[in-house]
Structure 1
Amino acid sequence: MYIKKIFYLFVFFSFLGVAQTKVGGKVVDEFNEPIPFANVIFKDSREGVITDENGNFYFESKENYSALIVSFIGFEKKEVPLKAGLNSNLKIILKEGTQLKEVVVYSGKTSKKDNPALDILRKIWERRRKNGLRMFDQYQYNKYEKVEFDMNTIDSAFMNSKIFKGMEFVFDNMDTSRITGKSYLPIFINEELSEVYGDNVTKKEKEVLKANKNSGFGDGDGVNTFIKDLYAEYDIYNNYLKFFDKDFVSPLSRTGINVYNYVLNDSMYIDNKWCYNIVYYPRRKNELTFKGDFWVNDSTFAIKKINLEASKSANINWVKEIYIEQEFDVLNDSVFLLKRDYMMSDFSFSKKEESKGVYGKRTTVFKDHKFNIPKEDKFYREEVNFYDNTVFNQTDEFWQENRFERLNDNELGIYKMLDTLQTVPKFKRIYNLASILGSGYIQYGNFDFGPIFSTFGYNDVEGARIRIGGRTYFGPNDKWRIQGYTAYGFRDDKVKYGISGRWMINPRNRFILSLGNRRDVEQIGVSLTTSNDVLGRSFASSSLFSSGTNNKLTNVNLTTLGAEMEMLKNFSIQTNFSYRTLSSASNEFSLDYYTDLTQTQVKSEVKQAELNLQLEYTPGRKTVGYGVDRLEVDSNYARFFISYSSGMKGVFDSDFDYQKLQLYYRQPVLIGGFGRLFTTFETGKIFGTVPLGLMGVVPGNQSYFIIENTYNLLDYYDFVADEYASLHFEHHFNGRLFSRVPLLRKLNLREIVGIKGVYGNVSQNNRTINASGLNYIAPENLYWEYHAGIGNIFKVLRIDFAWRGSYLNMPDARKFGVRASFGFYF
């Protein structure tokens, strides 16, 4: 979801207090070789940075300074005089040291033995769960958060582009980054005030939003939710810090000594507290690590100040830089509480220094802490769907009085600039184009045409297929929505359609009624766990690219009436009544079944009424919006789904009595710095006698693309089962292995491995009524396959290689296959 939002900004802007001392340059040795991770600070201050992998640095201060101090382990410290204002393109040469001073000098990788920095680090580990908010049973505080997006690396050619003719006023708010020294143009700002409550005894926390204000890209809590996922909360004491769906190793991690070098650099009083300064930098390139330094108190071993800068070679896409600063206040002499958190990210299509991009900056300020004020358990229960419109409509006077720190002139100018842009026709056209590419819908009044990406398709029954559709759209939080489509196949010369309506009667518990009807041609053997989505249609039903024949398709006429309710946050219950007729859509495929045990009478069409009850639990799921339709922010959450269905023979001339029970469980797990493991388990059983059209079909994959929860080397209907159990494991190493291989390191490739298997059988009664001509084969001896893949090829391509592990002697068995997928991932 957040990739789309950034994409909007990229598309549009591809078309479309002052610092006193600024310094930038490069640190090299006597042989002109760059010195990475050298310490550069203003003389007689704590303001400074660490050079990057190429020895480059830039930073600035609001104060006036006359000299820099540059140092690195194994080299002599050097003082560099500065002139007033800007000092750019400095070349600083360090000489190798001749004597050891104050601390032990390390060269290259620092030793794990006799290193005073590691002794301090071990004491941080011992005390990390006894510092800050963890010292109290309960806590509460007020929080102010400001998120800003800026177009960066603005040059004269960009400003004079014809695309900005008539919009030159946007450049009135130009500024320069204090971290990178690059010019930038503010384009979006979002502010939020909230109250946070927590209970360390029950491990519960709740954040109450009091006010939210944004400058025009989107509205309401949709933008707020997007921002919260883009800039997820993190704790520097944790072993891993999640940014942009990637798990970086924290410099305070217990496993940090395996990926970082640590050096005790300095010690001094900070706010009357004696603190040690430790510099850290990565041992290897291309891993998800940081460089920087931190100050730690000598008695509590709590962090007083820390900065983190992601390695430029880190295996992360579309993000050129990540920079973080945290400052802690001291309460009652021994309690260190986070006072200020600043994070800046540089989003860009390229990591080249001169490439243009978008800065994303988040500033969070904390104050008014209170402790040991218990709340009842019901206080911490999350609201299912609570939306307070006044939160998003506070006055300018309210914000002037309540924001924790005032906005500077450029930040205030963003609101005015975007209000003005809304009146410029050229801006509207460009923004609408970006919205269409991102959402897939073309808006016309209160109706959206689309999705445009499903306009064309192909299968062996319909031939070339064209589809048009749309939905009502009055806003992202519509309480009701009607959507539909019509399609035409040029080979079968038939018109298909689907229409559905959903109405949210009670917004607080998301009580929704739905009704729909669909008549279409579908490949129904591509999912073990069935769905009652009346407009849902599988990718396999109209794939433009597929292997083998794809003629086992079914004419489906489905009508559903349903109700659903979210009883607790991310826990929902749903019931549906459905009536469907199924018949073969191809002369080469049959759904025939015997209507008597003597096998003398055959029927080709299935008529079936069914009552269904579903329970779904998705802990950790984040969604955008409060209307009848919501968007999921990402897919890294657990999902537990159970479904019970009952066929009702005789109701509307239905053919079968049966009961069907299905369970689905998906769990992503972080494996200690080695990526994520995704586990998917499905099981089900049909009690009663049913024909092929109602049977469970092990999902094959005849496309050339990766489709989740299918078997890459099975064709459609290779295996059928009326009871089954399926288990998939897929692990994403996120480049952890390839980063150790010198020739592959710079490619930032990512490794994927997986194994999947399914067991099942078919009852004798179901075999007896089968008249389709399809030989029922059940995976009674366990069908399994495994795959290995390479992801992040050219940043957008993943290729998997799959091998069959069993049933190798089946007719026309595919023993090896290649599958691919495309996508924008961090």
Structure 2
Amino acid sequence: MKRLLVFLLFLSFYSVFSQTKVGGIILDEFGDPIAFANIIFENSSEGTITNDNGRFYLESDNTYKTIIVSFIGYETEEIQLQQKVNYNMEITLSESTEQLKEVVVYTGKQSKKDNPAIDILKKIWAKKRENGVRKFKQYQYDKYEKIEFDLNTIDSALIKSKLFKGLEFVFQDLDTSRITGKTYLPIFLNESFSRIYGDNIINEEKEDVLGNKNAGFSGNQSITAFVEDLYSDYNIYDNYLKFFDKSFTSPLAKTGVDTYNYVLSDSTFIDNKWCYNIIYYPRRTNELTFKGDFWVSDTTYAIKKINLQVTKSANINWVKEIYIEQDFDVVNDSVFLLTRDYMLSDFSFSKKEKSRGVYGKRTTVYDNYEFDTNRPEEFYKAESDPYDPRVFKRDSTFWKNARLERLNEDESGIFKLLDTLKTVPKFRTYYDVVSILGSGYVEIDKWNIDIGNIYSVFGFNDAEGTRVRLGARTYFGQNDTWRLEGYMAYGFTDKKAKHGFSAKFLLDRKTRLIVSGGNRRDVEQLGISLTSTNDVLGRSIASSSLVTVGANDRLTNINLSTLNFEMEPAKNFRIRFGSSLRTLSSALPNAFSLDYIDDDSSTGISSEVKQFDINTTFVYTPGKRTIGYGVERVDINDDHSTILFNYTKGIRGFLESDFDYERIQFSYRQPWQIGGFGRLTSSIELGKTFGEVPLSLLSVVPGNQTLFTLYNTFPNLDFYEFVTDTYATVHLEHNFNGRLFSRIPLLRKMNLREIVGLRGAWGQLSDENIALNSPSNIPLIAPDKQIYWEYSFGIGNIFKIFRIDFNFRGNYLDNPNARPFGVTGTFGFNF
């Protein structure tokens, strides 16, 4: 979640002229706020619903004289508007004295017989349809998208603060949000125009990006990747809508009647089609739900307009508001086409009404649909280049024609504002500080070098004691086709200097042919991962933890040199072929011996291994999205599966290599979104080594003696407690995202999240390998009699940033120094 950290750090630094604006609070006769009351401009389909605190804001491009305020069980009020702008209104509703005839409201499970809104909902389910473009053999349409970020809740105190001294000019043109009524200052805008082509017969689709233009922090791909991940596509007809890695129950879902209350509110003509208006709001608090309303056609029962607003009590961090609007063109009984999609998110450290934050807004407009134009399959295979320089250099004439929705005055001014801001030293200082804290690197533009990573400067382990490290990398831009990187380190106990350096070169952009290599001489905790790669700059957290459990003294001196070639012949399918030369020895021989029987040694025993390997790795990551085209790309999403197959061949004699052996390894990791029940992460790893090898080359079941929760490790195992040459492991971890705790009154407001885990490992160690490694001073045990297993219960979202796990060992309790119970934790910024 580093991109989220960048964004939150940025938070800490901080239209079209509407004709009618109203805002205020709706109260009952006792002065208590009424949540989910309906406010609508008279004789229109423009309206909104009060939030959990009874507050509302509504504006329109048209001029209206009256608003209608209503809620089930209360008298409907018509409020005359004295002027075009009416803020801080206080409206009181009286309890209704008449028996409601159309809708019967229940506090428990809702009746499906007596509620006309439920009857309409059933017809929506019966005629549930897929997007109209799927109804044709081929399709084509234009897509215009603009993404904007704004500082919000701008008041006089902020303008006059020392933070913005010398930057007062940026506040000259403030406007108010039509959704929340808050003042805002635009700071970032990205526009893109694409043409989408699809063929439903061969199941192919491609997007030609024809234009891209941005203003703001366009050079920071971390922010850009965060934006891309934030605004993923969704279909309101699905049972669950995924935002911020969480599944919200759709108001159109068949399970919606158990989650929402529905009220038939109004009916009117929209685009010459008679439509019903249905208001919905959640039955319970703290669940991942929406409130809002939708308009549905009375003949096709297709949604014409819908808005969705996440309730403030929803168990989601750092986001105060989420508001969504979608408009559709209902073509006929079986076809609808999405014409406009709008989403606003209000990011803030606090959900308090007056807290400052940043709006993230995405508007997508679809037009110029064409159908049934047959194109050859080669047309879809020929992908366009979204990073073609011409895409970013379109002139004003192009954008005048491409904008399917024109920019308002504020949006047009962003380009000029940011050009001015970049010349102000104080603003540049703010930006540099945020960039350093987010990326971990200090940029030296004059030399095209970054100094860092600042988060790895200090460390501690039993072999080195206190350790310091300082590194640097070349950096001309985020799409560099080559990069050099290195570090120097020093341990104050062993009084030894360490180093690592690497070089990467992108030789062919189309196939992503990359050659890389380097050398690392350091102290490392091996065995923390079964299918780890030979990273000459990598370092496990287990090698530098300030606090550990038990004796963390099984460390290894490593001198590693690598040369690798990598290419991506197909999207998300990578092939890596490489070689490595390693020299391995114990960093603390008295506590941890890597000795093995060596007939060629004068003593019959050797303590050091020199090994040359060649390896071939296949990695397939379906659904993975990246940004950038340089030698190092930025990942956008983490909800994709990863399939890895690795073959390693050790060659004895070459470069004085000691052993002949072969190893095959397979791993599969898959995240699963289980509807409204949270997210399950599963992984399986299999491997086998053929041939006799010393302890330093065997497969160690990954233990974890740190206090950090590390996925794919066993927190109740010590390092090297289980050693194998044949293994299989399974890890399951499910995060319920607060679904259970939200039903417990005492815990509901704490927004805690429950996590459960189950882990297992099985392995064997041959008699030949046991005999070869018999001089070692640690037990050589494999979990071959029965599967070793652990389980854990965790509580997440403590103070929004901390997670604690209680880990239990299931068996092998008679192993030396076995740990039956342990506690681990981790910090992180998660939605």
> 2:499 — aligned with what?
497
| Alpha-carbon distance in structure 2 between the residues aligned to 1:221 and 1:167 | 25
- Checking the alignment, whether the CA contact within 8 Å between 2:208 and 2:386 is kept in structure 1 is no
Structure 1 position 336, deviation (Å):
2.6
Mapping of 1:186-335 within 5 angstroms? 186-219=186-219, 225-331=225-331, 335=335
Question: Aligned to 1:657, which of 657, 660, 663?
Answer: 660
Q: How far is 1:287 from its partner?
A: 0.7
Residues 398/8 of structure 1: CA separation in 2 closer, same or farther (3 Å cut): farther
Q: What SS does the corresponding residue of 1:7 show, helix, strand or coil?
A: helix
Q: Deviations over 1:301-321 (max 9, x none)?
A: 110000111011111111000
Q: Shift of residue 634 of structure 1?
A: 3.3
> Is the partner of 2:812 in helix, strand or coil?
coil
**Alpha-carbon contact 1:611-1:646 (below 8 Å) kept:** yes
Write out per-residue CA displacement over residues 350-373 of structure 1, whole angstroms, 9 at most, x where no aligned residue.
Answer: 000010000111111110001122
Is residue 410 from structure 1 mapped to residue 414 from structure 2 by the alignment? no
Partner SS, residue 127 of structure 2:
helix
Letter in 1 for 2:704: N
Distance 1:36 1:698 in 2: 54
- Counterpart Cα distance in 1 of 2:167 and 2:19: 31
- CA gap of 1:652–1:599, structure 2 versus 1, over 3 A, is closer
- Distance in 2 (CA, whole Å) between partners of 1:684 and 1:388 is 43
* Amino acid across the alignment from 1:520: D
Cα separation, partners in 2 of 1:7 and 1:382, compared to 1, 3 Å: farther
Secondary structure of 2:129 counterpart:
helix
SS at match of 1:255: helix
Partner of 1:486: 488
C-alpha displacement of 1:272: 1.5
Partner residue of 2:776?
772
Structure 1: distance between partners of 2:13 and 2:52: 32
The verdict on how the C-alpha distance between 1:544 and 1:108 changes in structure 2, with shifts beyond 3 A counting, is same
Q: Are residues 1:755 and 2:754 paired?
A: no
Aligned to 1:9: 10
Equivalent positions of 1:378-417 (< 5 A) are: 378-381=378-381, 383=383, 387-417=387-417
- Amino acid of the structure 2 residue aligned with 1:531: T
Moved more, 108-117 or 81-90: 108-117
Q: Contact 1:385–1:626 at 8 Å: present in 2 too?
A: no
Q: Is the 8 A contact 1:789 1:801 kept in 2?
A: yes
1:69 and 2:68 aligned: yes
Cα offsets for 1:186-237 (capped at 9, x unmatched): 1111111011223334444322211111103023987655432111111111
Residue range with higher mean Cα deviation, 259-268 or 717-726: 259-268
1:811 pairs with one of 809, 813, 816 = 816
Instruction: Give the structure 2 partner of residue 103 of structure 1.
Output: 102
Whole-Å separation in 1 of the counterparts to 2:272 and 2:80: 29
Is there any run of 5+ residues in structure 2 with no aligned partner, and where? none
- Cα-to-partner distance string for 1:538-558 (whole Å, 9 max, x where unaligned): 111111121211111111111
SS at match of 2:232: coil
Note the 1:629-648 alignment, pairs <5 A.
629-648=632-651
Match of 2:140 in 1: 140
**1:105 and 1:40 mapped to 2: Cα distance?**
21
Contact 1:294 1:305 in 2 (8 A): yes
CA distance in 2, matches of 1:380, 1:712: 48
2:345 corresponding residue in structure 1: 345
Q: Give the superposed CA RMSD.
A: 1.9
Deviation at 1:256, TM superposition (A): 1.3
The one-letter code of the counterpart of 1:74 is G
Match of 1:93 in 2: 92
Q: In the TM superposition, what whole-angstrom CA distance separates every residue of 1:530-579 from its partner, at most 9, and x where no partner exists? A: 31212111111111121211111111111111100011111000011111
3-state SS, counterpart of residue 189 of structure 2: strand
Deviates more, 1:25-34 or 1:614-623: 25-34
The amino acid that maps onto 1:588 is A
Q: Distance in 1 between matches of 2:27 and 2:652?
A: 83
Q: Which sits farther off after the overlay, 43-52 or 469-478? A: 43-52
Equivalent position of 1:125 in the other structure: 125
List per-residue Cα deviations over 1:144-202 (Å, max 9, x = no partner).
11111111111111101122222211112211111111111111111110112233344
Q: Secondary structure at the match of 2:128?
A: helix
* Alignment partner of 1:604 is 2:607: yes
d(CA) in 2 for partners of 1:386, 1:268: 44
Q: Distance between the aligned counterparts of 1:630 and 1:732, measured in 2?
A: 29
Give aligned-pair identity as a percent. 58
Aligned to 1:619: 622
Q: For residues 252 and 382 of structure 1, what CA distance do their matches in structure 2 show? A: 38
In structure 1, how many angstroms separate the alpha carbons of the residues matched to 2:601 and 2:342? Answer: 77
**Paired residues of 2:228 and 2:636 also in contact (CA < 8 A):** no
TM normalised by structure 2 equals 0.96
The answer as to whether partners of 2:5 and 2:829 remain within 8 angstroms in 1 is no
AA at the equivalent of 1:167: L
Name the SS for the 1:12 alignment partner: coil
Residue 823 of structure 2 is aligned to residue 823 of structure 1: no
Q: How far, CA to CA, are the matches of 2:378 and 2:546 in structure 1?
A: 52
Q: 1:707 to 1:70 in 2, by over 3 A?
A: same
Q: Does 1:166 align with 2:171?
A: no
Deviates more, 1:120-129 or 1:410-419: 120-129
Residue of 587, 593, 596 corresponding to 1:593 = 596
| Structure-1 separation of matches of 2:129 and 2:377 | 24
CA 1:42–1:429 in 2, change beyond 3 Å: closer, same or farther?
Answer: same
Residue type at the aligned position of 2:809: R
Q: Which residue of 2 aligns with 1:745?
A: 748
Q: Aligned in 2, Cα 1:481/1:78: closer, same or farther, shift over 3 Å?
A: same
Aligned mates of 2:28, 2:444 — CA distance in 1 = 63
Describe how 1:76-87 pairs up with structure 2 within 5 A: 76-87=75-86
1:11-46 CA-to-partner distances (Å, cap 9, x unmatched) read 431xxx222221112222223332221111111111
Judging changes above 3 Å, is the alpha-carbon distance between structure 1 residues 779 and 352 closer, same or farther for their aligned structure 2 residues? same
* Contact residue 248 and residue 288 of structure 2 kept, 8 A: yes
- Separation (CA, whole Å) in 1 of partners of 2:600 and 2:260: 72
Aligned partner letter, 2:591: E
Shift of 1:802: 0.4
Instruction: Say whether residues 1:716 and 2:723 are aligned partners.
Output: no
Cα separation, 2, equivalents of 1:355 and 1:312: 13
Q: Give the aligned residue type for 1:188.
A: F
Q: Is the 8 A contact 2:207 2:384 kept in 1?
A: no
Partner of 1:23: 22
265-274 vs 474-483, which moves further: 265-274
Instruction: Please list, as runs of the form range in 1=range in 2, the aligned pairs for 1:566-577 lying within 5 A after superposition.
Output: 566-577=568-579
1:576-623 alpha-carbon deviations (Å, 9 max, x no partner): 111111111113211110024999711111011101000000011122
Quickly say closer, same or farther: Cα 1:41–1:787, change in 2 above 3 A. Answer: same
Structure-2 change in CA distance of 1:382 and 1:244 (3 Å): farther
Quick check: 1:802 aligned with 2:807? yes
| Cα distance between partner residues in 2 of 1:126 and 1:212 | 41
Shift of the 650–383 alpha-carbon distance from structure 1 to 2, 3 Å rule, reads farther
Q: 2:723 & 2:113 partners in 1: Cα distance?
A: 61
**More divergent stretch after superposition (370-379 vs 637-646):** 370-379
Equivalent residue letter for 1:722: D
In structure 2, relative to structure 1, the CA distance for the partners of 1:222 and 1:753 (3 Å cut) is closer
Q: Which residue of 2 aligns with 1:558?
A: 560
Query: Is 1:706 equivalent to 2:709 in the alignment?
Result: yes
Q: Which residue of 1 aligns with 2:450?
A: 448
* Cα deviation 1:264-289 (Å, max 9, x = unaligned): 22222211111111111111111111
Question: How far, CA to CA, are the matches of 2:99 and 2:278 in structure 1?
Answer: 18
Q: Cα 1:147–1:623, aligned 2, differ >3 Å: closer, same or farther? A: same
* Aligned counterpart in structure 2 of residue 789 of structure 1, from 771, 789, 794: 794
Mean Cα displacement is larger for which, 371-380 or 691-700? Answer: 371-380
Contact in 1 for aligned 2:28/2:93 (Cα 8 Å): yes
* Deviation, structure 1 residue 2: 3.9
Q: Secondary structure of the residue that 1:128 maps to in structure 2?
A: coil
